[in-house]
Amino acid sequence: MLHRFFSGPWAMEPRLHDRLAPLVLSGRVDLNAAKLARDRRSPRFEIVALDAPTKNAVGSGSAYRYLPKLGTKEGVVPIIPVIGTMTRYGDMCSYGTEDISAWILEAENDRSVVGMVLEIDSGGGEVNGTELLAEVVRQSSKPVVAYVTGMAASAAYWVASATQWIVMESATASEVGSIGVLSMHVDMTKALEKQGMAVTIIRAEGSENKALYNSVEPIDAAMIAAVRAEMKPIREAFEDSVRAGRPNISDKVFESKGGMFPASKAVGLGMADEIGFLGNAVAKVLELAQKGE
């Protein structure tokens, strides 16, 4: 987990990154507890079915069956959470992007489902798995609407921009953006010295360039440039995906170089479509479903 946090590229809003880093460094993130918190066998949600048709619903051994599902005359609308720090396998007390992708595919195969709402409140997370989830959303044959409560930042906005419509809950308290990629390096040499430890990395012949980006060897300008070069295509793929999903988005968003925007500005910049509540998002799903979009 430490390796992924410190060396992997993350599409994460910096404020969240800065809060998580001290926790990981101090060992206060209990990964075993995190895994238990997302145990797929434990019901995290209760089904909310009004008078919707359910006789054709498919069976499921995953947490999909525990998701809240709003019943309407037209059919069922699952509310799929994208909440907390996003990782591929759900290591940070949140369900992983693979879990969420699987739920969307299950909803696709559930004949009682007419469309889906992604309830989003996330500062983003690791790049690994984010592009997959965005493509699963984009390729869904049933309408998918994003409902942003707190924030959809970085990786979370990557996913939100792949939906057909974005509803933001509050003009001031809901925000979107942080379109960018970062990687963090921590020099642990002084901390290790205080503990009486010195680390020497011995590389086999022909492995001279292996794991040069680590926390126990000094990092120089050349290494920083190399890491930036590696992240550039990821950032470009992020922007291309957002532009594909939001063709009317303003160039000002990208000129902000990772800026965040409240809903009051985001709608005008083409980052979102309306300010409203969950009911608005569900209503939009039904409207799109009736249009066959």
* CATH number of the structural domain spanning residue 285: 3.90.226.10
Exposed (0-12), middle (13-18) or buried (19+): which is 208, by Cβ within 10 Å? exposed
Distance CA 132, CA 155 (A): 11
Give the pair of three-digit tokens for residue 148.
């942003």
Domain total in the chain: 1
Tell which residue, 225, 158, 67, has the closest CA to residue 57: 67
3-state helix, strand, coil in the chain (%, to 5): 40, 15, 45
pTM of the model: 0.79
Helices (H), the chain: 2-7, 14-26, 31-37, 97-109, 130-138, 155-160, 189-194, 221-245, 251-255, 263-266, 278-291
Q: Which residue has the tokens 């895994």?
A: 35
Q: What domain range is 115 assigned to?
A: 2-291
Q: Contact 264/172 with Cβ under 8 angstroms?
A: yes
Exposed (0-12), middle (13-18) or buried (19+): which is 213, by Cβ within 10 Å? middle
Q: Which residue has the tokens 């992240």?
A: 231
Give the pair of three-digit tokens for residue 98.
């693979």
Helix, coil or strand: residue 82: strand
Three-state SS string across 138-154, please?
HCCCCCEEEEEEEEEEC
Tell which residue, 250, 281, 252, 233, has the closest CA to residue 131: 233
Distance CA 148, CA 121 (A): 6
* pLDDT, one tens digit for every residue, the chain (293 residues): 444 544 456 566 555 555 555 555 555 544 444 444 444 433 333 344 444 444 444 444 468 888 999 999 999 999 999 999 999 998 767 899 999 999 999 999 999 999 999 999 999 999 999 999 999 999 999 999 999 999 999 999 999 999 999 999 999 999 999 999 998 888 999 999 999 999 999 999 999 999 999 999 989 999 999 999 999 999 999 999 999 999 999 999 999 999 999 999 999 999 999 999 999 999 999 999 999 86
What pLDDT is stored for residue 32 in this prediction? 46
What is the DSSP annotation of 234-266?
A: HHHHHHHHHHHH-TT--HHHHHTTS-EEEHHHH
Number of H helices, E strands in the chain: 11, 10
Residues 6+ apart with CB under 8 A from 130: 11, 86, 97, 155, 158, 159
Distance CA 237, CA 130 (A): 11
